[in-house]
Structure 1
Amino acid sequence: MNIKKYSFPCLIMLMIIGAVACKKNNGFNAVISEDTSKPLPVSNIKVDNFNGGANITYNLPNSQNILYVLAKYKINDNTDRETKSSYYQDTVVVEGFAKAKPYQVTLYTVSRANVMSDPVTVTVNPLTPVYSVVRPSVNLTADFSGVNITAENPLKKQIGIVVLSYNNNTKSLEIEDQRFTKDPIINYSVTGFSSTQRQFGVYVTDRWGNISDTLQKALVPLAEEAVDKSKFSVLNLNTDSPIDFGWTLPYLWDGKQDGNGWHTRYGVALPYSCSFGIGKTYKLSRFVLYERTGDQYTYKFANPKVFALWGTNSSTPTDVQLPVTAAEGTVIGNWINLGNFRFPDPPSGSLPTAINSSDNDFVKNGVSFKMPSAAPAVKYLRIAVSTVWGNEAAAHLMEFTPYGTPQ
């Protein structure tokens, strides 16, 4: 079976761009000197190995003509890398090694006239690379309309997860989803598949292009359907937040991710809440949330950051004030807390105040939230927002799309 692993450059490029964007100019290009004598090499070399790399410390020769130290090395059989460290530092970091084994690193001092010293070779023994640390914990299980991916990243270092599925047209495993994360616990789902057996795969990569072996499983995604939003209805509860700006509740399920949505009045008490019926009883599997986007709004303003979903299967929902926070499973009146959720941080790793176009696209495409398996079947829902991304005393949402199995 052909596994197309070479289709992940988008993921790798995003990682590399993020790394390059943070790199400072240490003046390595400021080559101005008439002294063309060969500099002496570094001495007293010591190695401190870490996962996938090593810190190499040394003593520099006593010369004001040295500009930087250059390390040359291979991180695998095919890839050469170079790392520079300025004259003002005594350590060069070498990283990206594919395996936990000995590697040769060649060090040079480089003068301001761009003259290199004689080489000095040192052996590093990097510990197990982070992508290989994560790989044994990776697992695939069937989920509603797709597969669930779990893994552990105890070192909290950036890795990429690439999910594949078998394509009947190309007769090969093709990339379905790719994302990178530093999260210690990885748990998410890739959806959009019919409830028929299909071969799935997943592998782990890093920003240097190293790739783990592929875990493959034949799975049958669980059946689910989009809840029919034409059957939704407003549930008028006095304890819900007043609505303002003409952004009435039905805009929350009108099928449009732009234009109007649900918007609370400014200055009302937490939590900012709204309530509605979903037509009939469903065991919800997940929901997709569409927040307000654009330079002024993405990860800003009154977009929800922390919120809860409450539900009831009673034909006569009680009008009770919801708490700002409550544990999953908490019952108040005939409402039960179905789950507590936090909107994910910008996937680029940027601060919410400095997002890029990929972060905006991530939010614009809708973010899926998996429902806890213990959540009961319900026919009425309440969204209760406790924290928003901006310093605003209100909340707004563009669209809410739930999925599940009718009961």
Structure 2
Amino acid sequence: MSFLYKRCRTWAIAGIWLAAQAACKKSDGYNDVVSGDMTKPGVVTNVKVNNFNGGAYITYTLPASKNLLYVQAEYKINDQTSRQVKSSYYSDSLTVSGFAKSQDYKVVLYAVSRAQVKSDPVEVTVHPETPPYLLARPTVVLTRDFGGVNIQVTNTAKANLGIITVTPDAVTKKLEIVNQNYTNQENVSYSVRGYDTLMRRFGVYITDQWGNISDTVFADLIPIYETQMDKSRFQEMRFPTDVGTDFDWFIRYLWDNKTTAPGFHSTFPTSEPLPKWITFDMGQSAKLSRYTANFRGIDGSNNFLWSSGAPQTWVLWGRNTAAADEALPTDSMALPAVGQATPGGWINMGKFHLPAQPSGLIAPQYTNADLAYWNAGFPFNFNLDLPKVRYMRFQCFTNAGGSNDFFNIMELSFWGDPR
């Protein structure tokens, strides 16, 4: 399948993501003939335009026709695609959107009767501001990452965008789509991995829900070597300052390759507030690149999504010299800088936060997309300047439930370069 053909099919491939968007010609309830009055309605008057990024608001005065049902706008968003938008007679405005560029476009307005009789056309010119997908395109930054490329995009409009990554196919050498990230987040940063440490061309273009496509940003990069840390080498450790366990949920369950119960659970109930921490040995030194954390989700009939003991804010500590006990800093705002160590030698590997629900709902409410996002585990990158480490500490400062006295984790997986 060619790269160009795939570009045309991008939004079809999107599947569920696209289905959530408004279709160009969805069922609108205006199609039934509910009147035998074939009188042509009057035209809309006093038309005014207020442009915005990628579209325009159009207001007007409705005609005094008794059989008026709706006002319809017909327009082209680019050289190929036409759209229709309808607004009932209860409203004096409609929105036209999806335009490919910031330029003049003609929009034709019709008043339509209950017998589906159109008025004479009224033509209005709109000049949308720069569409969100074109606003995002200059912000694309591609940098080499462990196993591939890191992609950063700023979506100031928080619009529904597709960030599409392409790279040459190993056999055909033609550019092929290898990743499609659909999002409305303002600040986007993620990595596409699975590539050898050889020079490779990566490209990213931005598309929107109407099929508009930007030019492609290219970068020739050499991915950094990484492999998943061998969990069979992991061992739990226990120092006097470490938190205890409860419910037979032990530290060793954090690397049993299972994201279902049991996992690790700190002592509960307890009157001692967070922060609390645990210590473990990866069994080998490595320059870590990233990790994935899985937290307790739907467990039986109980819903723990974005609640209860799921860590909300935490810090990972590491060291390559023999692990030694030390009371870690208890103020998350007064930590040593990332890459710097405590007096006892524990290096701050990064402060991390639980991502919000994609739907914007508040727990215990959630959508299927929220659940899938949670179950996939949360990926986090390490700073590329960090040194090799072998011994790790997970320090939880706050939990998602807000009680801030305990925490639990189901699985931790690490990647990096142990050579």
| TM-score computed with the length of structure 2 as normaliser | 0.86
Query: 1:224–1:353: structure 2 CA closer, same or farther, 3 Å change rule?
Result: same
SS in 1 for 2:19: helix
Q: Is 1:137 the equivalent of 2:139? A: yes
Asked if 2 retains the 8 angstrom alpha-carbon contact of 1:75 and 1:96, the reply is yes
Provide Cα deviations, 1:303-328, integer angstroms capped at 9, x if missing partner.
Answer: 33332212233314223144252444
- Cα deviation digits, residues 190-211 of structure 1 (max 9, x gap): 1222222222221111111111
Q: Does 1:318 align with 2:325?
A: yes
Question: 1:278 maps to what in 2?
Answer: 282
> CA separation in 1, counterparts of 2:109 and 2:173?
47
User: What aligned pairs does 1:8-407 form with structure 2 within 5 A after superposition?
Assistant: 8-9=10-11, 12-20=14-22, 28=30, 32-268=34-270, 269-294=273-298, 296-323=303-330, 325-326=332-333, 327=335, 328-329=337-338, 331-332=341-342, 333-347=344-358, 353-390=364-401, 394-406=406-418
Summarize deviations over 1:27-71 as a string: whole Å, max 9, x none. Answer: 646864454422211111111111111111111123453232211
Q: Does the CA-based 8 Å contact 2:147-2:223 persist in structure 1?
A: yes
Work out whether residues 264 and 396 of structure 1, in 8 Å CA contact, stay in contact via their aligned partners in 2: yes
The aligned amino acid for 2:136 is V
Give the deviation of 1:8 after TM superposition.
2.6
Contact preservation (8 Å) 2:31, 2:116: no
SS at match of 1:379: strand
Distance 1:359 1:178, change over 3 A: farther
The aligned amino acid for 1:123 is T
Segments of 4+ moved more than 6 angstroms: 24-27
Q: Can you list the C-alpha shifts for 1:285-315, whole angstroms capped at 9, x where unaligned? A: 1112223344823444433333221223331
Distance 1:345 1:108 in 2: 44
Q: 1:299 to 1:113 in 2, by over 3 A?
A: farther
SS of 1:179 mapped into structure 2: strand
- Give the secondary-structure state (helix, strand or coil) at the position aligned to 1:19: coil
Q: Give, in whole Å, the separation in 1 of the partners of 2:364 and 2:38.
A: 48
What are structure 1's unaligned runs of at least 5 residues?
none
Rounded to whole Å, the distance in 2 between the matches of 1:384 and 1:81 is 54
After superposition, the Cα gap between the structure-2 partners of 1:301 and 1:176, relative to the gap in structure 1 and judged at 3 Å, is farther
Write the deviation string for residues 158-194 of structure 1: whole angstroms up to 9, x where unpaired.
Answer: 3221112222134332222222233333222112222
State the SS of the aligned residue for 1:57.
strand
TM-score (norm 1): 0.89
Going from structure 1 to structure 2, the CA distance change for 1:316 and 1:384 (only over 3 Å counts) comes to closer
Q: Tell me, yes or no, if the aligned pair for 1:338 and 1:376 is still in contact at 8 Å.
A: no
2:274, 2:223 → 1: CA distance?
A: 38
Q: What amino acid maps onto 1:311 in structure 2?
A: G
Structure 2, unaligned stretches of length 5 or more? none
Paired AA for residue 154 in structure 1? T
- Aligned sequence identity (%): 41
Deviation at 1:228, TM superposition (A): 2.0
> Contact conserved, 1:339 with 1:375, CA < 8 A, in 2?
no
Q: Please state whether the residue corresponding to 2:20 is helix, strand or coil.
A: helix
